Structure 1
Amino acid sequence: MLTNPPKVSPVANLRSDVGLASALRVTLARLNRRLRRQSAKHSLTPTQLATLVAVDRHSAITPGELAEQEKVQPPSMTRVIAALAARGLVSRTPHPTDRRQVTVTVTEAGLALLKEERRLKEAWLAQRLKELTPEERTVLRQAAPILEKLSKI
């Protein structure tokens, strides 16, 4: 008779780097999915939202620079920017030194959407943090810069 082996928690084997990598991958993916569910009611695709965040972070950026940063092909980025512009979330203006290009900036409507998006996600996460012990929150405060470093490597 075959039985299924018991499921192992993703944090069960943290002694090895491979085990840590596996645990982080599973846990961060799950946390990311949960945070995405806390989204403002806007119907943007994940790519559109990531692009809006990138434009906000790097004001007056060209579509080519955005495509490179977001790791998508320039024609795909052009379509994403067009969709965001059609909704009034970004504006395109002539590039100050290269008439063949445009720069993209976030509009007031785009800023309002991002503000609400961040507010909802941070409120959800703050509530989850309240459920942790003070010691657990201290560990997370120490881990946050390390996770940030990992995200930039």
Structure 2
Amino acid sequence: MDDTTTQWPLGRLLSAAARAVEREWDERLRAIGLPHAALIVVDILVRTGPSGAESLARTARVQPQTMSRTLERLERDGLVERTPHPADRRRRVVQVTDAGRASWETARHIEREVLPEDPALRAALQGVLDGR
């Protein structure tokens, strides 16, 4: 039976390609001590600045409990720091550390090696996520 990727349904092709890229990317991120979930949080903080855990969870589209565990690991590893909110001592503000920013920079290089930027691919994937 001929099972070349040219004959696969688009959904199967997209899913297989995503898994292949994710496996390589995750492996390389683990090698620098930055799991994929942690990278998402550091990326949000680098791009938007200090934030609260609830806001980070909404932006990352994860449950607050998941974000809490991720932030604990990131803080333990010195990639983020949590400090009291200036207006409400019960809340904490999360910000990326210099070590976190350095890991983010390394991860960006890894991403470009694993999946070089392609504007057409980016537009197509954004279209899928936007429901177009």
TM-score, scaled to structure 2: 0.77
- Percentage of matched positions with identical amino acids: 26
Where in structure 1 do 4 or more consecutive aligned residues deviate above 6 Å? none
Structure-1 residue corresponding to 2:90: 100
After superposition, the C-alpha distances for 1:45-83 in whole angstroms (9 at most, x for unaligned) are 332232222322332121112223333332332222122
Structure 2 CA distance for aligned equivalents of residues 99 and 21 of structure 1: 48
Structure 1 CA distance for aligned equivalents of residues 114 and 60 of structure 2: 26
Structure-1 residue corresponding to 2:13: 23
Aligned residues: 131
What amino acid is the match of 2:99? A
**Aligned-residue RMSD, C-alpha:** 2.6
Structure 2 CA distance for aligned equivalents of residues 78 and 56 of structure 1: 18
Larger RCO of the pair (alpha carbons < 8 Å, separation 6+): 2
Deviation, 1:124, is 4.4
Residue of structure 2 aligned with 1:145, choices 107, 123, 126 = 123
Alignment of 1:1-153 (within 5 A): 6=1, 8-13=3-8, 19-39=9-29, 41-126=31-116, 140-153=118-131
